[in-house]
Amino acid sequence: MRYCLCLLLISAFLVECASTTGEKSTRGSRYVITAEEITESSATSAYEAIQILRPGLLNRDQRRSIDMWGRTEVVVYVDGIRYGNKESLKAISASQIAEIKYLTGSEATMRFGSDHGGGAFLIKLK
């Protein structure tokens, strides 16, 4: 009897976990912000878009890894070209952005070099 009850509970749990509504989530990755999300947020700059959609990313550079020189500041790249620091995000118009991607400090250091302990924002323009 207990065996049947356990099987029933496990089956119900698995069915509940596997069920989906068929709707696609508008939010993809916690480290990627799409143009669609930015448009829906009514943000005017890249900084504002991140602040509205993924606020934790703006403060990650203060909590995460430090490079070998003790720097933790995030670096911003626009279409593959180094653009500035976190404050430079305020100068990028949200309407021009196709995607914003955040790389952690270790990912950014592996990709761009040792002065990326705070991570990097990669901005792709339309």
Residue ranges and CATH numbers for the domains of the chain are 28-125 (2.170.130.10)
pLDDT, one tens digit per residue, over 95-108 is: 999 999 999 988 99
53-60 CB contacts, 8 Å cutoff, 24+ apart: 53/27, 54/30, 54/102, 57/31, 57/102, 57/121, 58/86, 60/102, 60/104, 60/118, 60/119
pLDDT band for position 65 (cuts 50, 70, 90): very low
pTM, entire model: 0.72
Average pLDDT taken over every residue of the chain: 80
